[in-house]
Structure 1
Amino acid sequence: MWKRLLFTLAVAAAHSHAAVNPVAFWNTIAGRAFAPTQGTNPVAQSRTYAILHASIHDTLNAIDARYGSYTPGLPRDPAASVEAAVAATSHWVLGALVPDQFSLINAVYASELATIADGPAKARGIALGEAVAQATLRRREQDGADRSNDPMFLPRTGPGEYQFTEPFNFAAFPGWGRVTPFAIDLKEHDLDGPLPLSSARYARDFQLVKELGSLDSRTRTDEQSEIARFWYEDSPLGWNRIAFVVIRRKNLDLWQTARAFALVNFAMADAYIAGFDAKYKFRFWRPVTAIQNAGSDGNDRTEPDTGWQPFQPTPPVPDYPSTHSLVGAAAAEVLIDLFGDRIRYETTSSTLPGVTRSFRGFSEAAEENGESRIFAGIHFPHAVRDGLRQGRGIGRAVGKLLPPVRKSSTD
């Protein structure tokens, strides 16, 4: 009984937050399904969010074509129920890609269908939503995500080489950079690489993260510590929350909402792919390794500290570029294209409950998100700077997709 009551309250809360916009509602259900895996697999989150919102976008445009579709050649049915179609396509995608949360997803789906009057429109909406979901999943089933752990990463010796960081004895997803992007051409988003170890710029970056990012730093402010913890949350969860807040404030219609979420999540998914491609190309060491082993880097401006530890745990992937910075910048650039960069909003974080941070634009949030990795002691500033630059380029490219084929009633 208690489980049923809690579930009912959770669905009611999600409906309240989504203001009965079914696209936004299913975005919140996806976030709830991902909550138990926070901190373990943001790349898979990004792919699932992108497939989910591609399917929702295409489902709506199969009912009323207002924007270009992600997957071509889908069936059309203007007589289908919008609510049933969105629920069915979301249920199918999330059930397939987040099977551990199927009981939640299935219960929400049943609850949603119960609110829709039985009849031909409902039946046609379910059939259409399922057909679009299957088509989207088929399009992505050979994208390489199932081979993301191949080949196994083996560290090389020598200064600058990425080494496993405690408590991990592996490097995560070395093959993710070979996943097929949703929107971009990877060759158009190359990076120059890490700074030379012998350079003065590297020494300055080294000293900055050594001072600000240390577990027992005396120079990191209370706010910088808050920023590090606030933005430690998985990027897909945090930036979908920001998108949700602004979409609700702007009172977008369902088609506009679906396109916005699709573009934001395409940008994040492709940012992870581009970032991991570069990470395992350059294989650059993390600050904890660099600082503890600075005696071997050939730079007389750096001093080792064998006991140095970062403020936050170091994720098990190479340093360059900072995909956290890259993903945030890509999402922000899409949001800027949609809404401009002069908008006030507040957001929260699952990694620092009870704290709300306010922003006056998306670029401001993206910059703070990037800085958080320096305050956390887990990225060099150069990895953050280049991650931001690469992310902005990806966001601009993605923002051109799914163009309008006719104006919506609220444009």
Structure 2
Amino acid sequence: MTSGIRTLRGAVVGSILRLSTVVLLVGLVFDPASANAEDMVLKWNDTAARTAVATTPFNQARVMAIVQLSVFEAVNAVTGDYEPYLEPATAAAAGASVDAAVITAAHRALTNYFPAATPGLDAARDLDLGAIPNGPAKTAGMGVGLAAANAMIALRATDGSAPLTTLIPSSTLAGDYQLTTGCAAGLFYNWQNVTPFGIPNASAFLLTPPPSLGSRQYTKDYYEVMTVGSSTSSDRPADRAEVARLYAASSPSFVASMATRQISTAKGLSLSENARALALIMMGINDSLVASFYNKYHHNVWRPETGIRNGWSDDNDKTDGDAGFATFIPTPCFPSYPSNHAGGTGAGLEVMRRLFGAAGHDITITNNVPALGSLPAATITVQYSQLKAIADDVDDARVYGGIHWRFDQTSGGVLGRAIATAVVKNNLRPVRP
């Protein structure tokens, strides 16, 4: 396929609004475990997750990984429980306040990437630091937090996340990615080259090709999304419409943060355990999204909107096509295979499974979603006891939303779990006595 590549210039790019997850900006509801005053790691994770919705889901994952690694490095400098991430490792003076380290590290990282949020972040920092008695321990903790965050910011200064580049597809071949409604270009072309946090490179995680257009699997998935994913579908149950809207408004890093805070609170995990867990989870999510974009632009698969509208052209006599097919939620502006949300969520959940167990949890995922067609704005809340049920709902959300083939979801989950496994096995390991 011949293509043109161009650089996005300026902060406002009209076509980026086609990202279904842009609705994160409408506002977020209160998480029942968001403000555990006894654990500054959890408290500042909540602050970070809410602050990060001001950017794209992919940069959310990147910034959240930077924030949580800054916090981890600061905490670990005091506790020494795990192998450090940074080389050289951050050093802490004896007796340094670990709470002061967490507050300062998170604040420094967040204000670096979200300067517009500085007044609110300053107020939160001052309130939390104000509860710590003044003295050498507090001063030392603030110093180690600042050092950890500054080192992480410097490490990621040239990580390939900027400038954003786009790709304009020119192929009209059946199966190849073509621009969908409202898209001026394929976005985030550079994201496949963003430096990962916990794996050597994204190219080591190349997926096998998707099902061929004439295969039974493609035909099955074609009719599923055509039936339940259209804007006018009468076969989409109300609860599947709700999860489609919920996970269009909730990024993998936001969902994993909310779930982790609740699980940690229920299990009574230590501040050090929380710092490591959240760092590993965000590393896995980010790296899966990087690898997902690598696969997307490698395999270059058309979206359901294109495939269903052009079913007559795919040499599959069982896919007649529907020229008027429109999706329930907006289609993002990049190729279909694999699903970013499946990969990112799958990675976060796999790290969580390895750390917390697969089931027996009490998790509430809740968010405000904007109006969609005739559906009014709403607060949608879903309860889970098993991590896999979250992944299953994310998969349904993208298919019932009309924006992904089911095989996109399956392969995204495979990718996320593989990357999460590598991240956990090779990073932030416990220090053995």
TM-score by length of 2: 0.86
What is the letter of the counterpart of residue 240 of structure 1? Answer: S
Give the C-alpha shift of residue 322 in structure 1: 0.4
Aligned to 2:281: 264
Identify if the C-alpha distance between structure 1 residues 158 and 244 changes in structure 2 by more than 3 Å, giving closer, same or farther.
same
1:227-238 mapped onto 2 (5 Å cutoff): 227-232=243-248, 233-238=250-255
Q: Runs ≥4 in structure 1, deviation > 4 angstroms?
A: 12-16
Task: Supply the distance in 2 between the matched residues of 1:343 and 1:189 (Cα, whole angstroms).
Answer: 31
Contact 1:62 1:78 in 2 (8 A): no
Aligned with residue 83 of structure 1, among 99, 111, 122: 99
Give the C-alpha shift of residue 75 in structure 1: 2.0
What is the letter of the counterpart of residue 398 of structure 1? Answer: V
Aligned to 1:325: 342
What is the letter of the counterpart of residue 17 of structure 1? Answer: A
Aligned to 2:428: 402
Task: Please say if 1:194 is aligned against 2:210.
Answer: yes
Task: Please say if 1:33 is aligned against 2:25.
Answer: no
Spell out, residue by residue over 1:84-141, the C-alpha distance to the aligned partner (whole angstroms, 9 max, x if none): 1111111110011122322221221122222222111111111111111111111111
Consecutive unaligned residues in structure 2, runs of 5 or more: 1-27, 370-377
Aligned with residue 365 of structure 1, among 390, 401, 404: 390
Contact 2:228 2:399 in 1 (8 A): yes
Task: Supply the distance in 2 between the matched residues of 1:184 and 1:116 (Cα, whole angstroms).
Answer: 37
Give the C-alpha shift of residue 296 in structure 1: 1.5
TM-score by length of 1: 0.91
Task: Please say if 1:354 is aligned against 2:359.
Answer: no
Aligned to 1:57: 72
Aligned to 1:46: 61
Task: Supply the distance in 2 between the matched residues of 1:152 and 1:303 (Cα, whole angstroms).
Answer: 29
Q: SS in structure 1 opposite 2:379?
A: coil
Task: Supply the distance in 1 between the matched residues of 2:345 and 2:32 (Cα, whole angstroms).
Answer: 24
Aligned to 1:222: 238
Contact 1:33 1:104 in 2 (8 A): no
Task: Supply the distance in 1 between the matched residues of 2:31 and 2:62 (Cα, whole angstroms).
Answer: 26
Task: Supply the distance in 2 between the matched residues of 1:343 and 1:238 (Cα, whole angstroms).
Answer: 18
Aligned to 1:244: 261
Q: SS in structure 2 opposite 1:321?
A: coil
Identify if the C-alpha distance between structure 1 residues 19 and 123 changes in structure 2 by more than 3 Å, giving closer, same or farther.
closer
Task: Supply the distance in 2 between the matched residues of 1:97 and 1:406 (Cα, whole angstroms).
Answer: 35
Aligned to 1:341: 358
Farther-moved stretch of structure 1 (346-355 vs 155-164): 346-355
Task: Supply the distance in 1 between the matched residues of 2:154 and 2:34 (Cα, whole angstroms).
Answer: 33
Give the C-alpha shift of residue 176 in structure 1: 0.3
Aligned to 1:113: 129
Aligned to 1:95: 111
Task: Supply the distance in 2 between the matched residues of 1:273 and 1:78 (Cα, whole angstroms).
Answer: 38
Consecutive unaligned residues in structure 1, runs of 5 or more: 1-9
Contact 2:203 2:294 in 1 (8 A): no
Q: SS in structure 1 opposite 2:383?
A: strand
Contact 1:231 1:349 in 2 (8 A): no
Q: SS in structure 2 opposite 1:169?
A: coil
> Which has the higher relative contact order, 1 or 2, with Cα contacts under 8 A spaced 6 or more apart?
2
Length, aligned pairs only: 393
What is the letter of the counterpart of residue 166 of structure 1? Answer: T
Task: Supply the distance in 1 between the matched residues of 2:167 and 2:229 (Cα, whole angstroms).
Answer: 30
Spell out, residue by residue over 1:49-84, the C-alpha distance to the aligned partner (whole angstroms, 9 max, x if none): 001111111101111200111112122323211111
Task: Supply the distance in 2 between the matched residues of 1:272 and 1:266 (Cα, whole angstroms).
Answer: 10
Aligned to 2:154: 138
Aligned with residue 154 of structure 1, among 147, 155, 169: 169
| CA RMSD, Structure 1 to Structure 2 (Å) | 2.0
Aligned to 1:5: none
Task: Please say if 1:386 is aligned against 2:404.
Answer: no
**Identity across matched positions, percent:** 32
Aligned to 1:212: 228
Contact 1:63 1:80 in 2 (8 A): yes
Task: Supply the distance in 1 between the matched residues of 2:240 and 2:93 (Cα, whole angstroms).
Answer: 52
Contact 2:296 2:336 in 1 (8 A): yes
Identify if the C-alpha distance between structure 1 residues 123 and 72 changes in structure 2 by more than 3 Å, giving closer, same or farther.
same
